A = this chain, B = another copy of it.
Amino acid sequence: MERMRIGELTERAGVTQRTVRYYESIGLLPSGEREGNGHHYYTEETVTRLRKIDQLKKLGLSLEEIRDVIELYFTDPSGVQPKRKVLGLLRRHLADTDEKLEALRQFHAELQSHIERFERWLEVKDRE
């Protein structure tokens, strides 16, 4: 229950094989392969990593930006060199996330009120 090949990986992570290959090609995913045969083998962490990449994408980061920070999400404090710098970066991401959450909530509210206005308008029309 550790090593899997690309088929299982993509199914569990909800991405296509092409996506994985592409991420490997741009250095966003380590291309853990080699077993004599040409096949790549992946672990549970690769799944987590792909999911994290997806989250960061939804935050609006480009793959290049993600490549610059993804490591931070997979190293533990004891293994990182400029710890305070990393912490600073993480905090900025958190702040960005806060802002985006707020903006999204507002958009959500706006959408809802637009919808309600429409519904009221249609209700009136229906009664005629």
Contacts and interface: CB of A to CB of B under 8 A. Distances in A.
Interface stretch (A8-16, A18-26, A29-37, A115-123): A115-123
Contacts of A121: 76-78, 83
Given A60-B58, A60-B60, A103-B58, A77 B108 contact: no
Interface residues of A, number: 39
B55 A87 contact: no
Interface string A44-80: 0000000000011011100000000100110011100
Nearest to A87: B118
28 contacts: A55-B107, A55-B110, A56-B107, A58-B60, A58-B100, A59-B107, A69-B114, A73-B110, A73-B114, A76-B117, A77-B121, A78-B121, A83-B118, A83-B121, A84-B122, A87-B118, A87-B122, A90-B111, A90-B115, A94-B108, A94-B111, A97-B104, A97-B111, A98-B108, A100-B104, A101-B101, A101-B104, A104-B104
